[in-house]
C-alpha cells in the first residue's frame, strides 16, 4: 500500500533531521486560535538543535568544545558531535546550573559529555558563573573553544521563521517565544516582521528572570526559578529588546501545570518551558476583547523542549506535589488518581480468594498444570514445615524453561522459582503487602510489579495474591474510576 506522503530520505547524520517540524492546532480559548510549532520534534528534542548545528559547522574543528548551557544546547551539541567525538577523540564539556534536571545530566553523561555544575544565582561576572568558568577552561585546555549562544551573530532561526510563514500562510497575529539568550526570539522577529509588519512578538520568561527588566539593579540580587531553558539573570547581547513587543512573566507553577495539561489533554510530550509559553498565550487570549469582525486571532507558540528530559521532575507526580508546582486543578487530578479515589480502602477490601500455593519440592510440571488449569500467572511457594513464603514461580518463566530445555518435568520448583530474600539482603528488598496495606500504596507497588503476594506482617502466612486487575475491578465495583 503506497504512503500518502513521502518519508524523509536516508540521512548521513543526525543533524540532517533538524527542522521541518510539525505545527498542530491546540485546544484554545474561544477568542484566539493557538498553533503549536513542535520544535520538540527535532532530533535531540529542542529548538536548540538549530543553533547547535551552526556552532558545530563553524567551530567543530576544535578539539575541546566548552558549552555554558542550561541543558538543551549542551545536549544538542553533544548529540550532533557524537560521531566526530568518537572518531576524532573530541572532548565536550558542559557547564550547567544546579537547577538542571538529573535526567538531562544522565543524558549528557551517556553522550560522553563532561559536566561541571555552577550555582543558579551566579552572576555572569562572578568567577563561578558558567561563562567565567568556560573562559578559564578555554585558556587552560589545548585547542579549546567556548560555544556561547549569547555571542552568536548569525541568525540561526531563519529556516524556522520560513517554516512558520509557510505553515500559517502568513495568517497569524502573535508569536510567543520563550527567551533565554534571546537569540531565538530576536532571530524570528527579524524575519517575520520584515514580511508581516503587523505581527506582534511576545517574549516569555520565568517570573524572576530579568530579560524584560530595564533596571540593572535586579541583576545583582539572587533570583531563581524552576523552569529550565528560559530566563536569565542578565541581559545577553544576543537579545534585541526592540524585537519584542510584549513580555510575559510566568510562574513555575503555571509553567509546569500547563505542560502537564498539554501532555494529558493534547498528547504533546513537552517540557516546562513549552508549558510557560502556552500559559502566556492563554493568559494573553483571556485578555483579548471580542473582535466585532469575522477575523479570528491566531497565536503561534514555540514548543521548544521535550518532556523526555524531565522524567524525575515534570513527569513525577509526587515531585510536582511536594514542590507545589501543580495548580489547584492539576493537584486535584493527581491526588484523586493517587489517593482520593481509593477512599481509605485497604487490600482487605479487595476480598481476595484464599491463596493457592505449592511447596518447594513440587515438580515444575505440577506447578505448570495448576497454573494452566486455574488460569494463574504465578504461584506462591510455601515451605511445608513452617508455612513461610519463600518465593514464587511464574507461568511465563516455566514455559520458557521447558521450551529451551533448561528444566525437566520432574525438576523441583525450588530450583526454578524466584526467591524472596530476607529484607536487608544484597538482593532487591521485599516489600511487605498485608491486608492493612492501603490500596493507594498497592497501586504504587503495581507501578513496578505485576502482582503482589499478600502476607501477614511477619510474612509467616501467605493469604492471597493481588494483581492490578483486582484493583481495577474493585474501583469499577465501587465506581471510583
Strand residue runs (E) in 235-353: 246-250, 297-303
Q: Which CATH superfamily is domain 347-478 in?
A: CBS-domain (3.10.580.10)
The second-level CATH assignment, the architecture, of 14-44+154-338 is 3-Layer(aba) Sandwich (3.40)
Domain boundaries, the chain: 14-44+154-338, 49-151, 347-478
Q: Are 23 and 37 in contact (CB under 8 A)?
A: yes
Residue 228's pLDDT is: 93
pLDDT of the chain along its 481 residues, tens only? Answer: 788 888 889 999 999 999 999 999 998 767 799 999 999 999 999 999 999 999 999 998 999 999 999 999 999 999 999 988 777 878 999 999 999 999 999 999 999 999 999 998 788 889 999 999 999 999 999 999 999 999 999 999 999 999 999 999 999 999 999 999 999 999 999 999 999 999 999 999 999 999 998 765 545 455 789 999 999 999 999 999 999 999 999 999 999 999 999 999 999 999 999 999 999 999 999 998 766 667 889 999 999 999 999 999 999 999 999 999 999 999 999 999 898 999 889 999 999 999 999 999 999 999 999 999 999 999 999 988 888 888 999 999 999 999 999 999 999 999 999 988 655 444 446 789 999 999 999 999 999 988 999 998 887 788 999 999 999 999 988 765 5
Residue 290's pLDDT is: 67
Strands 23-26 and 32-38, sheet pairing: antiparallel
Q: Which residues, at least 6 apart from 474, have a Cβ–Cβ distance to it below 8 Å?
A: 345, 349, 350, 439, 480
Q: Residue 183: left if φ>0, alpha if ψ -120 to 50, beta else—which one?
A: alpha
Handedness of CA 368, 373, 377, 379 (dihedral sign): negative
Grid coordinates of 249:
512573566
Residue 81's pLDDT is: 93
Q: Are 117 and 97 in contact (CB under 8 A)?
A: yes
Tens digit of pLDDT for each residue in 177-201?
A: 999 999 999 999 999 999 999 999 9
Handedness of CA 91, 95, 98, 101 (dihedral sign): negative
Please give the backbone phi and psi of residue 204, each rounded to the nearest 5 degrees, phi first.
-125, 135
Grid coordinates of 235:
541581559
End-to-end CA distance of the chain: 41
**Per-position b or e across 419-448, b if 16+ CB within 10 A of its CB:** ebeeeeeeeeebeebebebebbbbbebbee
Residue 292 to residue 274: CA distance in whole angstroms: 31
Residue 221's pLDDT is: 53
Residue 218 to residue 63: CA distance in whole angstroms: 38
Q: Are 98 and 107 in contact (CB under 8 A)?
A: no
Handedness of CA 239, 243, 246, 252 (dihedral sign): negative
Question: Closest Cα partner for 182 from 200, 198, 159, 201?
Answer: 201
List % helix, strand, coil for the chain (3-state, nearest 5): 40, 20, 40
Q: Are 70 and 229 in contact (CB under 8 A)?
A: yes
Tens digit of pLDDT for each residue in 437-473?
A: 999 999 999 999 889 999 988 877 889 999 999 999 9
Please count the other Cβ atoms lying within 10 Å of the Cβ belonging to residue 54: 16
Q: Are 55 and 152 in contact (CB under 8 A)?
A: yes
Q: Are 335 and 448 in contact (CB under 8 A)?
A: no
Could you check whether 49-151 and 347-478 share the same CATH topology? Answer: no
Q: Which CATH class is domain 49-151?
A: alpha beta
The residue whose grid cell reads 536516508 is 10
Amino acid at each position: 500500500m503506497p504512503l500518502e506522503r513521502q518519508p524523509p530520505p536516508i540521512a548521513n547524520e543526525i543533524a540532517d533531521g533538524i527542522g521541518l517540524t510539525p505545527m498542530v492546532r491546540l485546544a484554545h480559548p474561544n477568542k484566539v486560535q493557538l498553533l503549536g510549532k513542535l520544535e520538540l520534534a527535532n532530533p535531540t528534542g529542542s529548538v536548540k538543535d538549530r543553533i547547535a548545528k551552526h556552532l558545530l559547522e563553524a567551530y567543530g574543528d576544535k578539539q575541546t568544545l566548552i558549552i555554558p548551557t542550561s541543558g538543551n544546547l549542551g545536549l544538542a551539541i553533544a548529540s550532533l558531535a557524537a560521531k566526530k567525538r568518537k572518531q576524532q577523540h573530541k572532548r565536550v564539556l558542559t557547564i550547567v546550573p544546579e537547577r538542571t534536571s538529573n535526567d538531562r545530566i544522565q543524558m549528557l553523561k551517556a553522550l560522553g559529555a563532561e559536566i561541571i555544575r555552577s550555582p543558579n544565582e551566579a552572576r555572569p561576572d562572578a568567577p563561578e558563573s558558567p561563562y567565567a568558568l568556560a573562559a578559564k577552561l578555554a585558556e587552560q585546555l589545548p585547542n579549546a573553544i567556548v560555544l556561547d549562544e549569547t555571542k552568536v551573530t548569525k541568525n540561526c532561526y531563519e529556516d524556522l521563521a520560513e517554516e512558520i510563514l509557510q505553515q500559517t500562510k502568513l495568517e497569524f497575529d502573535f508569536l510567543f517565544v520563550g527567551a533565554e539568550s534571546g537569540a531565538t526570539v530576536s532571530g524570528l522577529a527579524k524575519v517575520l516582521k520584515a514580511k508581516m509588519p503587523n505581527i506582534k512578538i511576545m517574549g516569555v520568561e520565568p517570573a524572576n528572570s530579568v530579560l524584560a527588566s530595564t533596571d540593572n539593579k535586579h541583576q545583582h540580587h539572587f533570583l531563581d526559578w524552576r523552569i529550565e531553558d528560559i530566563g536569565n539573570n542578565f541581559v545577553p547581547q544576543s537579545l534585541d529588546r526592540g524585537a519584542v513587543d510584549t513580555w510575559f512573566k510566568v510562574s513555575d507553577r503555571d509553567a509546569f501545570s500547563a505542560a502537564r495539561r498539554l501532555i494529558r489533554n493534547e498528547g504533546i510530550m513537552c517540557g516546562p518551558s513549552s508549558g510557560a509559553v502556552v500559559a502566556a498565550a492563554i493568559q494573553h487570549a483571556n485578555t483579548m476583547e471580542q473582535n466585532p469582525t469575522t477575523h479570528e486571532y491566531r497565536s503561534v507558540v514555540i514548543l521548544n523542549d521535550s518532556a523526555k528530559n524531565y522524567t524525575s521532575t515534570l513527569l513525577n507526580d509526587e515531585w510536582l506535589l511536594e514542590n507545589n508546582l501543580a495548580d489547584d486543578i492539576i493537584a486535584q487530578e493527581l491526588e484523586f488518581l493517587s489517593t482520593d479515589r481509593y477512599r481509605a480502602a485497604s487490600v482487605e477490601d479487595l476480598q481476595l480468594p484464599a491463596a493457592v500455593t505449592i511447596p518447594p519440592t513440587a515438580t515444575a510440571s505440577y506447578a505448570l498444570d495448576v497454573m494452566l488449569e486455574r488460569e494463574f500467572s504465578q504461584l506462591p511457594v510455601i515451605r511445608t514445615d513452617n508455612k513461610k513464603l519463600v518465593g514464587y514461580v511464574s507461568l511465563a518463566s516455566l514455559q520458557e524453561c521447558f521450551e529451551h530445555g533448561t528444566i525437566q518435568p520432574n525438576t523441583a520448583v525450588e530450583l526454578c522459582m524466584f526467591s524472596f530474600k530476607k529484607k536487608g539482603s544484597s538482593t532487591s528488598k521485599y516489600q511487605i503487602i498485608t491486608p492493612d496495606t492501603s490500596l493507594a500504596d498497592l497501586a504504587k507497588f503495581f507501578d513496578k510489579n505485576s502482582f503482589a503476594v499478600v502476607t501477614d506482617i511477619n510474612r509467616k502466612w501467605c493469604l492471597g495474591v493481588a494483581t492490578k486487575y483486582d484493583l481495577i475491578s474493585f474501583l469499577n465495583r465501587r465506581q471510583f474510576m
